[in-house]
Amino acid sequence: MGHIQKIILLVVIVPLALFPGGLISYILLFEKLAFETTMWIPVGMTILGICSLIFHFKTKNFYKLLNKQDSIPKVEPLFWILDIGFGVVYTLMSLYLMYVMNQLKPMREYTIMLAFIIPLFIAGIWTLLEAFYLNKLIQIHKFAHRHIEIEEIKGDGFSA
């Protein structure tokens, strides 16, 4: 089940990760606007999204390995941090957009804005929960694996 969840998360993250950078690229290339300081925010969101994609590709087989009691390959801590950063940024961005939407006078475009905000929020929370859950499973797996190794070293004490 975790493996399927990981694939669904990858499918959801791809457009959310690439959209901000694509939007800035479109604005700069076709609208011929100058690059402004605030444009670093979507560029940063895209960079975090790409790092999150790399993290999920590296960890997509972890759930299968946990079930087989195989050793788990190491993922660099930087990718864990950047994946969590991706989740935090998208969650905060969705909350900020919800705040801005509530400050505006009522308009008909609420459903359009919500159609954009809700996937941001879901992807952000889902990424955070999945990263913490996977880390917890890895810690449990390492503890059990060490326990099995200790039991194998101890032996049963009856061999001569």
CB 64 within 8 A of CB 5: no
DSSP string, 129-157: HHHHHHHHHHHHHHHHHHHHHHHHHH--S
Conformation bin of residue 65: beta by default, left when phi > 0, alpha when psi is -120 to 50:
alpha
Torsion angle of alpha carbons 136, 138, 140, 146, nearest 10°?
-150
Distance (Å, rounded) from C-alpha 16 to C-alpha 123? 8
Q: Which of 62, 93, 91, 58 has the alpha carbon at shortest distance from 77? A: 58
Contact 57/64 with Cβ under 8 angstroms?
Answer: no
Residue 76 DSSP label: -
Question: In tens digits, what is the pLDDT along the chain, a chain of 160 residues?
Answer: 677 888 888 888 888 888 888 888 888 888 878 888 888 888 888 999 999 998 888 888 777 776 666 677 788 889 899 999 999 999 999 999 888 888 877 777 777 888 888 989 999 999 999 999 888 888 887 777 666 666 666 665 555 4
pTM: 0.76
pLDDT at 160: 46
